[in-house]
A and B are shown apart, each in its own frame.
Chain A
Amino acid sequence: MFYLLQVPVPRDIPLALPLPEWLLIGLLVISFLLHIVFVNLMIGGSILTLWAEIKGLKNKEYDTLALEIARTTTVNKSMAVVLGIAPLLSINTLYTVYFYSANALTGLMWISIIPLVAIAFLMTYLHKYSWQRLHNNKPLHIAINAIAVLIFLFIPLIFLVNINLMLFPGKWGTIHGFLSALLLPNVFPRYLHFLCASMAVTGLFLFGYFGRKAYPFEVHFQQLTRYDIKRKTYSLTLAASVTQFLLGPLLLLTLPAKGMGWNLIGIILSGAAIAIPAMWWIWKAISGPRENIDRHFWKIVTAMSITVLFMGSGRHVYRANALAAHKMRMKARTAEFEQRSATARAKPVIEEPAIRIAPSPGDITKESATSPMSTPYLLTMSIILLLMIVVQLVRLSSNILYLRKDRRLRTDQEPPN
């Protein structure tokens, strides 16, 4: 039992942060929110596609709706994955030891994210591009998307387990793989809170997507009207937001006390307060006259974005609170180790440490690169020159193609350049 209570104090990486800490934190919070919004859209979109396609078995219009939503999901998923890199970099930098320790302890599941997400993405494409070909075999077609949805629902759990585990160094010694880390308190409330947010964000996004003027709604749908879709998507956002007001407190109550603080409560409550007018506007839009449904859209988007920003900051504040004490200890440990290492270096006890220092390898490189200043300069200039030539060539070939074509094809248009 005594051993179980031991809290490890690893050594930190003894190098300075590349940027001021506040800036890195800012980058982390903002880039994470950008990433997570697209993740929300990807998950919410794929779930709604599943729902609409099943509903589409009876009503063809919903099948079309499913396809239209699926088209947005494949784009959103690409954004989600590329936007994930910046927060990953930032958390690696700010919380190196914590994050890596959690990764290592759930290693197999953590690395499985890569193949699992790749499979889920391939499934969403297969689903989207086999719509016509499999229209006679709907169960199979729906099943393809269902697999993607299941994977999408599972992946956030892996991330949450890691993000949660990194907050509790005291638990590291007790963890044996992913499943035991999954059972730490607070993973599931966070997960539900996240899923609900996905539905709310997706509802709002689809309202804007189907509602925009450039969207050829009448080409795709005959029975369903723009108003129907807007009402449905708004209702989804409202319902999900109301649920958040139940899940939020549950999440807050199950959070281990060590990261709690008035700063956290203040941020969370302000965030929640800003969501209330947004919910009121949505309610008015769906219960009011048809023509007024668009009235508060941008106000709602703004309010909800601020809420998201507050919640994202709250998430960070909890992490900072929870790890503050441990970070101090880690700092002390690192300094102590550095001190000892320096002493040992100055007075090697063993005769001569069996390390030989290579004859300043830096000099060798300098020699091999004839002139370190002129090479990059010449290189940059020649690349710019080359680019200019290529651009001109592209323009030229485009013009030639244009002139080769029949006058009728050209008449109502200006020359391409």
Chain B
Amino acid sequence: MFHLDWLNDRFLIAMIAILHVLINHGLAVGFIPYITWLEHKGVRNSPSDQITDKDWDHTAYRMMKVAFIITTTIGALTGVGIWFSVALVSPASIGSLIRVFYWAWFTEWLVFVSEVVLILIYFLTWKKANGSLRSKLRHIRFGWFLSIFSWLTMAIIVSILGFMMDPGNWKTHHSLLNGFTNPIYLPQLAFRTPTAMVVAGMFGYVLVMLFTRRSSPLRAGFVRSSGKWLLCWIPLSLTGAIIYYRAMPAAMTANISVAVGTIEFQQYYDLLKYVIAGAVSLVAIIAAFGILKPGKVRLVMVIIPCVMAFGFLGIFERVREFIRKPYVIAGYMYSNLLRKEDYPLFQQDGILKYATYTSTPEVTADNKIEAGRNVFMLACSRCHTTHGINSITDVFERMYGPGRPLNENAMAAYIPNMHEGRTFMPPFPGNKKEIEALVAYIRYIQQTGETLEGAQTEGVIVNRTNNTETTQIQK
């Protein structure tokens, strides 16, 4: 198995996915209408004998260029990156999902290809369109339609996301409509739409400060426009955030009856309140200030609200993580990538016996630590590291007192029941001997500080009871 022992495997996915959402929402879904609006303004505010205000139009073009470059490079690649990282970290779950949701993703891909082509056309025809009034207006109209299209893309993707988190019946409901009826779907859309606009406006605000000269009328115009744009969307974004915030506990209950009330979720939920209030008011202040005193705005003043706006959008992405636990596919596969229905077999014979790669098909007195390491890799390593982020030794030290040597018996007694108290944890899959090996290993790594390398550096050892020869016999 691929394993990052310091960074944590899940963290890798989260990093890539959140970056992707920020770019997609902020720099595509929200940014295109914002820029089209500015382009429109340029034509409207120019003298009647000119097609558009050249400086204004050029500035808007340069802003679009930044967004265009970022979306077609980092934006596109992080989109692919989600696939890459999930396939590395969570192959069994994504492999299963793909068999059921192939069409949903294929549709998403088609929509995505069209969106990229349209963005390319919009950006690359901008300068040429300035040749005549008619083509300029056509370009602006194209911008508006592109805005609608990218919003629709987002609406579809949010539904696919909701669809995959739908509990239990993930294999029976193949219709995409199921995604739209998910209780969290509309609140999500109500939040994502205006917030994308706010993030785009804030990002544009920063670009304005970079691309225009201080105290020029051009800057004043752009600052005022961005301020108006932001003030128009902030109330909606705040309302959306509150709706989403309220819908969360309901979604949690609906999705997994056991997950409500975990400490982590409660902490996150409390923190969220302050983030909403802080980000929204900060953006509102800088927007209002820009409208009243456009000449006084400085670059440093807009950077923090911009970061806050991105953070505001990003922090909501964590909800998904809570909704899923302890499953990766609700009711079917736990977050350790083992199927719920195989649990009786694993508890009877152990997980090592059926592993494709393990140096120890069975736990013996001689190989206890090594077998424990293999059990850890198979059952724990998707979420835990040895000493890095969400480290297994830390988790136990927090329970039994930091720095104290861990007690194997206490851990061995605790593990079979941990999913009762910590409902976000899947039950331990293996048999009794494997628990003993695992706790011996955990204590061993606490003492030695030994780390665990994944298959990408260490390679794999084929289970000697589980290879071509043994399969042929049973065939």
Residues of A within 8 A of B (CB): 3, 6-11, 13, 15-19, 75, 78-79, 81-86, 88-89, 92-93, 96-97, 99-100, 103-111, 113-115, 117-118, 121-122, 125, 129, 172-178, 180, 326, 329, 332-333, 336-337, 340-341, 343-345, 348-350, 353-355, 358-362, 364-365, 368-369, 372, 375-376, 379, 383, 387, 390-391, 394-395, 397-398, 401-402, 404-406, 408-410, 413-414, 416
Q: Which residue of B lies closest to A125 (CB)?
A: B69
B289 at the interface (CB under 8 A from A): no
| Partner of A174 from B120, B456, B459 at Cβ < 8 Å | B459
- Let me know if B348 and A361 touch, CB within 8 A: no
Most buried by B among A84, A180, A340: A340
- Let me know if B180 and A82 touch, CB within 8 A: no
B8 at the interface (CB under 8 A from A): no
Main secondary structure of the interface of B (DSSP, over half): helix
Q: Which residues of A contact B417 (CB under 8 A)?
A: 354
Q: Which residue of B lies closest to A412 (CB)?
A: B132
- Let me know if A176 and B180 touch, CB within 8 A: no
The 9 A-B pairs at the shortest CB distance, nearest first, are namely A107-B456, A18-B102, A361-B167, A344-B345, A121-B73, A100-B91, A114-B81, A7-B468, A406-B49
- Let me know if A13 and B72 touch, CB within 8 A: no
Given contacts A105-B455, A376-B180, A379-B180, whether A353 and B99 have CB atoms under 8 Å apart is: no
- Among B108-116, B210-218, B379-387, the one that faces the other chain is B108-116
A163 to B50 CA separation, bound complex (whole angstroms)? 57
Given contacts A82-B112, A85-B109, A92-B94, whether A176 and B343 have CB atoms under 8 Å apart is: no
| Partner of A413 from B40, B134, B250 at Cβ < 8 Å | B134
- Let me know if A359 and B113 touch, CB within 8 A: no
- Let me know if A105 and B348 touch, CB within 8 A: no
- Let me know if A390 and B471 touch, CB within 8 A: no
Q: Which residue of A lies closest to B145 (CB)?
A: A394
Within the complex, the shortest CB–CB distance from A372 to chain B, in Å, comes to 5
Q: Which residues of B contact A93 (CB under 8 A)?
A: 98-99, 102
- Let me know if A409 and B49 touch, CB within 8 A: yes
Q: Which residue of B lies closest to A18 (CB)?
A: B102
- Let me know if A110 and B84 touch, CB within 8 A: yes
A89 to B110 CA separation, bound complex (whole angstroms)? 12
Within the complex, the shortest CB–CB distance from A314 to chain B, in Å, comes to 25
Within the complex, the shortest CB–CB distance from B464 to chain A, in Å, comes to 7
A118 to B79 CA separation, bound complex (whole angstroms)? 11
A397 to B167 CA separation, bound complex (whole angstroms)? 45
A11 to B144 CA separation, bound complex (whole angstroms)? 50
Chain B: interface residue total (CB-CB under 8 A): 114
Q: Which residues of B contact A125 (CB under 8 A)?
A: 69, 73
- Let me know if A401 and B44 touch, CB within 8 A: yes
A404 to B106 CA separation, bound complex (whole angstroms)? 45
- Let me know if B48 and A85 touch, CB within 8 A: no
- Let me know if A10 and B356 touch, CB within 8 A: yes
B177 at the interface (CB under 8 A from A): yes
Q: Which residues of B contact A344 (CB under 8 A)?
A: 344-345, 348-349
- Let me know if A398 and B474 touch, CB within 8 A: no
Within the complex, the shortest CB–CB distance from B316 to chain A, in Å, comes to 20
A379 to B186 CA separation, bound complex (whole angstroms)? 10
Q: Which residue of B lies closest to A370 (CB)?
A: B181
B400 at the interface (CB under 8 A from A): no
A344 to B80 CA separation, bound complex (whole angstroms)? 39
A180 to B460 CA separation, bound complex (whole angstroms)? 13
- Let me know if B456 and A348 touch, CB within 8 A: no
- Let me know if A118 and B77 touch, CB within 8 A: yes
B281 at the interface (CB under 8 A from A): no
- Among B236-244, B255-263, B364-372, B444-452, the one that faces the other chain is B255-263
- Let me know if B464 and A15 touch, CB within 8 A: no
Within the complex, the shortest CB–CB distance from B86 to chain A, in Å, comes to 10
Q: Which residues of A contact B186 (CB under 8 A)?
A: 379
- Let me know if A6 and B2 touch, CB within 8 A: no
